[in-house]
A and B are shown apart, each in its own frame.
Chain A
Amino acid sequence: MSRKFTSIETKHYEERDALFAALPKLGRRDFLKVSAAAVAAAAGSGVRFFPTSFQPVTVANAATREPFTFAYVSDSHLYRKDLNDRFVRSILRAVDDVNHLDPKPDFILYGGDLAQLGKREELDLGAEILKNVQQPIRMMVGEHDWFLDMGARWRELFGEPTYSFDHKGVHFVVLMSVNEKDFWTPRGMTPEQRMGTVAGLDNGIQSRFEVGAPQREWLTNDLAKVSADTPVIVFSHSPLYKYYKNWNFWTEDADEVQAILKKFDHVTVIHGHTHQMLTNRIGNIDFHGLLSTAWPWPYAPEGLPKLTVQMSRPDPFNPNDGCGDGSAAVSADGLVDKVYNLWNRNPIEVTSGYLASNGVKSVPAMPNMKSF
């Protein structure tokens, strides 16, 4: 008889045996953690959090952390609803998606570019739609929200774009990574012209995105009080690495920001802007992109990170293909498994195991029709 379908009891005893087998290898400090976890487990809480796992790596963190999920909606690029109903329908679909997730995510990240041209009526429409999200929402700003009034309306609606918070033992940082050096004043541009320039992905007049020195200093100070073994998750609109300069799939001071994050055991950066399945790993940092609800971007002609599992080329005959939303499962170790919920396709999960094994294990389904 096949052992493929192991019973729950068998799994339980196998994992229990594995735990005891691993115990002699633990140092004193780890042993105390395991002991504490064992006490907690005896009290019943361990059963709730780790119903099937006794593995030491998980138990070691059980006293302080528990796994959880969060979901995201991103890059909706709203115009006024009487001008463009298509993008409105798309964000409504995403809101509906995240409201129907089971189990409920702990919070929803909005990944930036709520508006297309930064107009008050666009941002207000987005804020109104996002009120329908049932879980708490964490907002991130994108360049399309910013460059008409340099963030004035966005701030009124959602507060400061740079902040941090702690959730279930994980330290979260939200950055405003789409600052640009002043290209508009020397050209005598109006705010509308400035916004229109930034809104064009392939418009070469604009500057490259940057976090900037003041925010890097803020980040350094914010992280000074966080211990190196605390998992850190960073939300930034632009990818915090250098992928393709011409489309601002790029952060000019990415190297400096990565250096600030270097001291931590586990860092995950979740970014918007690229409208595609996008995966990277640099040193201790895992990077995951977000899908857009409005339209997919093609992969850039060069610079694509090696670990990226491309999404098959979107169907031009289906306006929702290649778009979507998604979620992230954060393990008790603070490792992130990222789910791309592509509309009209099966969801694709890019796990921390895939990244940690350098693309050898847990390999997701590969595309048959790549970007040209």
Chain B
Amino acid sequence: MKRSQILFGLAVLVLAGGALQANADDPMVVQLCDGKTTTTVDKNAPKTKENGQKIAADLMAQWQRSHPEANWIATEREKHAIVEPADNKDVVGRTQGQSYGQVTDRDVLTWQRETLAMAVHGSTVFHSGDQLGSTIAVSCDMCHPDAANTHAETYPKFQPQLGRVALLRDMINWCIEHPVRGTKLEPDSPNMRALEAYIMAQRKGTAMNYGAR
């Protein structure tokens, strides 16, 4: 679950926290949106932004301790160099008055985070024989470190070995079935989409050249 979603859920529950009160003298119990993590709060404490932040920080710290994989993006990025998506900062605040062009810093941040997260997810799959479903402990990075030599920009192209024009996903599936000895992925499955995202991300800046050998 993404940090932004948790914070959003938390904000709702802090507001709803009062509903958990048994009587007027009990401390207030605030529950996180996971339905499990709670913290107690002096209900007479001033309702300042700082005190609210303390509650949020306490809940988040508890949640992170019980979910060490929650920092998967940072963990994966520390291991593997993943190219960042375009930052789009140049479109913020410049508009001809059209609603589509009303772009804020927050929009740009969301686009950047979500897009990068998909590529990072792809990197975890790419580097894991288990996630790829390999029966022989082989993962993509064993032949393609940093997704080198996957040349996403050359697809679609005719693959004589397949007898048809292949898309990138066709080659990914071919590799999963053969060198990796796994079961091919559904084209719209989360892992296939993420693999495509990672492989494309690593070729950022390369000119498209479909059909190239």
Chain A interface (Cβ < 8 Å from any Cβ of B): 79, 83-86, 116, 197, 200-205, 246-247, 295-298, 300-301, 313, 316-317, 319, 369, 371-372
Cα A319 to Cα B141 in complex, Å, equals 15
A83 with B154: in contact, given A319-B178, A371-B149 (CB under 8 Å)?
no
Q: Per-residue CB proximity of B165-197 to A under 8 Å, as 1/0?
A: 000000100110011000000000000000000
> Quick one: closest B residue to A199, CB to CB?
B142
Partner among B78, B143, B175 whose Cβ is within 8 Å of the Cβ of A204 = B78
Partner among B138, B143, B151, B154 whose Cβ is within 8 Å of the Cβ of A297 = B143
> Quick one: closest B residue to A206, CB to CB?
B79
The answer to whether A298 and B175 have CB atoms under 8 Å apart is no
Cα A1 to Cα B182 in complex, Å, equals 63
B window 186-213: CB within 8 A of A: 213
Partner among A83, A204, A372 whose Cβ is within 8 Å of the Cβ of B149 = A372
The answer to whether B146 and A83 have CB atoms under 8 Å apart is no
A372 with B151: in contact, given A297-B143, A316-B174 (CB under 8 Å)?
yes
Cα A319 to Cα B180 in complex, Å, equals 10
Query: Which residues of A sit under 8 angstroms from B141, Cβ to Cβ?
Result: 200-202
The 8 sampled A-B contact pairs (Cβ below 8 Å) are A84-B136, A116-B137, A200-B79, A202-B145, A295-B142, A295-B179, A297-B143, A298-B143
Query: Which residues of B sit under 8 angstroms from A295, Cβ to Cβ?
Result: 142-143, 179
B window 119-169: CB within 8 A of A: 127, 136-138, 141-146, 148-151, 154, 161
The answer to whether A317 and B161 have CB atoms under 8 Å apart is yes
The answer to whether B143 and A205 have CB atoms under 8 Å apart is no
Interface residues on B, range: 20 to 34
The answer to whether B78 and A246 have CB atoms under 8 Å apart is no
Partner among A116, A297, A313 whose Cβ is within 8 Å of the Cβ of B145 = A297
A372 with B136: in contact, given A246-B81, A297-B145, A316-B175 (CB under 8 Å)?
no
The answer to whether A372 and B213 have CB atoms under 8 Å apart is no
Partner among A84, A247, A301 whose Cβ is within 8 Å of the Cβ of B138 = A84
Is B80 interfacial (CB 8 A cutoff)? yes
Partner among B146, B171, B213 whose Cβ is within 8 Å of the Cβ of A369 = B213
The answer to whether A319 and B145 have CB atoms under 8 Å apart is no
Query: Which residues of A sit under 8 angstroms from B79, Cβ to Cβ?
Result: 197, 200, 203-205
A-B pairs under 8 A by CB, number:
67
> Quick one: closest B residue to A300, CB to CB?
B148
Query: Which residues of A sit under 8 angstroms from B144, Cβ to Cβ?
Result: 298
Q: Per-residue CB proximity of B73-95 to A under 8 Å, as 1/0?
A: 00000111100000000000000
> Quick one: closest A residue to B148, CB to CB?
A298
Query: Which residues of B sit under 8 angstroms from A85, Cβ to Cβ?
Result: 136
Chain B interface (Cβ < 8 Å from any Cβ of A): 78-81, 127, 136-138, 141-146, 148-151, 154, 161, 171, 174-175, 178-179, 213
The answer to whether B81 and A202 have CB atoms under 8 Å apart is yes
Cα A301 to Cα B206 in complex, Å, equals 12
The answer to whether B80 and A203 have CB atoms under 8 Å apart is yes
Cα A86 to Cα B213 in complex, Å, equals 27
User: Taking the nearest CB of chain A, how far is it from the CB of B132, in angstroms?
Assistant: 14
Cα A316 to Cα B136 in complex, Å, equals 17
Cα A295 to Cα B81 in complex, Å, equals 22
User: What 6 A-B pairs have minimum CB-CB distances, sorted nearest first?
Assistant: A298-B149, A202-B145, A372-B151, A84-B136, A298-B148, A317-B161
Cα A342 to Cα B80 in complex, Å, equals 30
Cα A203 to Cα B141 in complex, Å, equals 10
User: Taking the nearest CB of chain B, how far is it from the CB of A312, in angstroms?
Assistant: 11
User: Taking the nearest CB of chain B, how far is it from the CB of A337, in angstroms?
Assistant: 29
User: Taking the nearest CB of chain A, how far is it from the CB of B198, in angstroms?
Assistant: 12
Cα A181 to Cα B178 in complex, Å, equals 37
Query: Which residues of A sit under 8 angstroms from B143, Cβ to Cβ?
Result: 295-298
A298 with B145: in contact, given A84-B137, A369-B213 (CB under 8 Å)?
yes
The answer to whether B149 and A313 have CB atoms under 8 Å apart is yes
> Quick one: closest B residue to A294, CB to CB?
B142
> Quick one: closest B residue to A322, CB to CB?
B143
Query: Which residues of A sit under 8 angstroms from B137, Cβ to Cβ?
Result: 79, 83-84, 116
A201 with B149: in contact, given A79-B136, A316-B171, A372-B154 (CB under 8 Å)?
no
Cα A271 to Cα B52 in complex, Å, equals 60
> Quick one: closest B residue to A79, CB to CB?
B137
User: Taking the nearest CB of chain A, how far is it from the CB of B70, in angstroms?
Assistant: 18
> Quick one: closest B residue to A205, CB to CB?
B79
> Quick one: closest B residue to A247, CB to CB?
B145
Cα A97 to Cα B176 in complex, Å, equals 29
Partner among B136, B145, B151, B178 whose Cβ is within 8 Å of the Cβ of A201 = B145
The answer to whether B148 and A301 have CB atoms under 8 Å apart is yes
> Quick one: closest B residue to A313, CB to CB?
B149
Query: Which residues of B sit under 8 angstroms from A300, Cβ to Cβ?
Result: 148
> Quick one: closest B residue to A80, CB to CB?
B137
Query: Which residues of A sit under 8 angstroms from B213, Cβ to Cβ?
Result: 369
User: Taking the nearest CB of chain A, how far is it from the CB of B12, in angstroms?
Assistant: 37
Query: Which residues of B sit under 8 angstroms from A83, Cβ to Cβ?
Result: 136-137
